[in-house]
Amino acid sequence: MKAKIAVLAGDGVGREIVPEAVKVLKIIAEKYGHSFEFVAADIGGQAIDKVGVPLPQDTLALAKQSDAVLLGAVGGPRWEGLEYSLRPERALLGIREALGLYANLRPAKLYSNLVDASTLKREVVEGIDILVIRELTGGIYFGKPKGIEKLPNGEERGVNTEVYTTEEIRRIAKVAFEAARKRRKKVTSVDKANVLESSELWRKVVIDIHASYPDVELGHIYVDNAAMQLVRNPRQFDVLLCNNMFGDILSDEAAMLTGSIGMLPSASIGAKVGLFEPIHGSAPDIAGKNIANPIATISSTAMMLSYAFQLDKEAEAIEQAIVKTLDLGYRTKDIQSPGAKIVGTVEMGEAIVRNLN
C-alpha cells in the first residue's frame, strides 16, 4: 500500500523520539512492500518561533491531506509566558478538533519483563492490560463560556464549562463497546454522576448505548474511586470509558502502572485522518541528552499501522520487536533495572530496528 504520513516532531524530546519511530516505519515499508511518504512540518513551540502561532495553517493543511499523522510532543518552559491562546499546547487541541478526532485510545499493558520497573508491587500490576478510551473534543477543555474575567471588586474569576451533548457521549460510548468486543468484553464507565449534571447525562446515554451490546459487561465508577482502584486492583479493568478530563488524568496514572510514561502510545481517531503519539510530554529537562525512551512513540506507529491502515501483521511485528529488545536486556534510563544494558534514545531505536529485521 501507499500512504502519506505527516511527521510533526514538535518540541523537546519529540525531536529525538520521532526520528526513531520513522526508522521503524521505513523498515516495515521495506520488509512488507509498502510505500510510506514522510512529510515533516512544525507544530507547538517550534512553530511559534518560526511563524508566531503553535498550529500554522500549512501544518494543518498537511495533516488533512495525509493518511495519518505522527506527533512527538509540544511545549516547554520557554513558551510558558505567552498569552494563553498562543501557547504550544493549544496546537494539540486545535489539530484534534480540526481533524474531528473525538476518540483517544490509550493502552496500558505491562510487558512481563518490566514488572519490576513499576513502583507498585508485582502482585498488583503483573498481567495488567487496560485500554483507556478518552473523549477528546468535548467536555471542560472545549466548553463555553470559558476565560478569565474582571469582577467589579477588582478581583478576577476563571471560568471553564464542563458540557456534553447526547451525540458526543453516544459516539465515544460506541467506540468503547466495539473495542471491548475485541478484548475481554468489559467496559467500566467513569463519571461523577453523584455531583455533576454532565456526568448524570453521560451515565444515562452510556446505559442506553449498552442496550445494543448485550454481550459486553458494563459497570460504572466514580472518578475518585477509579483513581484509587487503579493502584489498588488494576487487573479488574478492561476498557475504561472516560470523558476528556477524567481520561487525561487517569491514563497518566495508568501509565505509571507499566513502569514509565515513556512506554505508552496513543491513537486519536474518529474521522478520515488519525493522529498517533506517545502520551508523555516534551520533557524539556532531558531534551537533547539522548536519554528519552522512544518505545511509546514506536508503539504509536504500531497503532497507526493497525488503526489507520489495517496492517495488523505489521503492527504485531513492531510489538514483537519491542518485546525481543526488552528480553535482550536493553533499557533506557526510565526503565532501568539491575543487570540491564542502559542505552540512549538512538541506541534503543536501533536495537528495535535490528530485532524487526
Residue 56 counted as an annotated binding residue: no
- Of the residues 102, 141, 213, 307, which is catalytic? 141
Contact between 12 and 73 under an 8 Å Cβ cutoff? The reply is: yes
96 is in an annotated binding site: yes
Give me the catalytic one of 26, 186, 252, 324. 252
To the query of whether residue 208 is one of the catalytic residues in this protein, the response is no
Annotated binding residue at 76?
A: yes
- Distance linking the first and last C-alpha atoms of the chain: 20
285 assigned binding-site residue: yes
Q: Is 215 a catalytic residue?
A: no
Crossing angle of helices 14-32 and 345-356, rounded to 10°: 10
* DSSP secondary structure of 189-221: EEE-TTT-HHHHHHHHHHHHHHTT-TTSEEEEE
Flag whether 293 is marked binding. Answer: yes
* Amino acid identity at 344: G
* Sign of the dihedral through C-alpha 109, 114, 116, 122: positive
Residue from 192, 213, 238, 307 carrying the catalytic annotation: 192
Q: Is 82 annotated as a binding residue?
A: yes
Residue 224 counted as an annotated binding residue: yes
Q: Is 217 a known ligand-binding residue?
A: no
Say if residue 292 carries a ligand binding annotation. yes
Q: Is the peptide bond before 145 cis (omega within 30 degrees of 0)?
A: yes
Q: Catalytic residue, from 224, 272, 313, 341: name it.
A: 224
Q: Would the annotation count 138 as a binding residue?
A: no
Cell of 116: 519490576
The answer to whether the annotation marks 77 as part of a ligand binding site is: yes
Q: Is 232 annotated as a binding residue?
A: no
244 is in an annotated binding site: no
Distance from C-alpha of 109 to C-alpha of 73, rounded to nearest angstrom: 21
Could you give the C-alpha distances from 252 to 143, 158, 222, 281, 306, in angstroms and in order?
22, 25, 17, 11, 23
Which residues lie below 8 Å from residue 199, measured CB to CB, with a gap of 6+?
A: 191, 192, 193, 243
Annotated binding-site residue? 230: no
Please check if 106 is assigned to a binding site: yes
Asked if 224 is an active-site residue, the reply is: yes
Catalytic, out of 11, 191, 238, 248: 248
Q: Is 67 a catalytic residue?
A: no
**Is 88 labelled as part of a ligand binding site?**
yes
Identify how many contiguous H helices and E strands the chain contains and give both numbers: 12, 14
Q: Is 181 within any annotated ligand binding site?
A: no
- 79 annotated as ligand-binding: yes
* 141 is a catalytic site residue: yes
DSSP 254-322: HHHHTT-GGG-EEEEESSSSEEEEESS---TTTTTSS----HHHHHHHHHHHHHTT--HHHHHHHHHHH
**Does 85 appear as a known binding residue?**
yes
Cβ atoms within 10 A of the Cβ of 242, count? 27
Least Cα distance to 95 among 66, 120, 128, 119 occurs for 66
Strands (E), the chain: 2-10, 35-40, 68-73, 103-109, 129-135, 147-150, 156-159, 186-191, 217-222, 239-242, 265-269, 274-278, 330-331, 341-342
Q: Is 83 annotated as a binding residue?
A: yes
- Binding site membership for Mg(2+): which residues? 224, 248, 252
- Binding site membership: which residues? 76-89, 96, 106, 134, 224, 248, 252, 281-293
- Binding site membership for NAD(+): which residues? 76-89, 281-293
- Binding site membership for substrate: which residues? 96, 106, 134, 224
List residues with catalytic annotation: 141, 192, 224, 248, 252
